[in-house]
């Protein structure tokens, strides 16, 4: 067997990753601007030999909700 280095980056938690409706190219990367059969990080690794440098972890939904919920003037916080 060939001695292939391990590929570690998983695109599913990245902000740039998206899923397409094209069955021939199901995954894409907004940062690199391409779609393909393989995960974008795998394509980058095969082309360059290094891990994807643009991986940005998606913020959790609860953190986004806390940021977007602002108190209105005169509103009282009852949660504590």
Q: What is the pLDDT of residues 25-61, one digit of tens each?
A: 999 999 999 999 999 998 988 888 888 888 888 887 7
What is the pTM for the complete model shown? 0.64
CA–CA–CA angle 64, 66, 69 (5° rounding): 105
Task: Name which of 2, 1, 10 is nearest 45 in CA terms.
Answer: 10
The CA-atom distances, in angstroms, between 52 and each of 18, 24, 34, 42, 79 are 15, 23, 14, 8, 41
pLDDT at 1: 47
Q: What is the mean pLDDT of the chain?
A: 81
Domain spans in the chain, listed from the N-terminal domain onward: 11-68
Alpha carbons 27 and 35: distance in angstroms, whole number = 6
CB 34 within 8 A of CB 44: no
């Amino acid at each position: 067997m060939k001695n292939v280095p391990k590929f570690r980056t998983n695109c599913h938690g990245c902000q740039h990753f998206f899923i397409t409706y094209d069955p021939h190219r199901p995954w894409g990367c907004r940062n690199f601007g391409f779609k393909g059969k393989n995960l974008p990080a795998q394509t980058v690794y095969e082309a360059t030999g290094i891990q994807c440098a643009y991986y940005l972890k998606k913020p959790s939904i609860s953190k986004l909700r806390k940021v977007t919920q602002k108190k209105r003037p005169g509103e009282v916080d009852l949660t504590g």
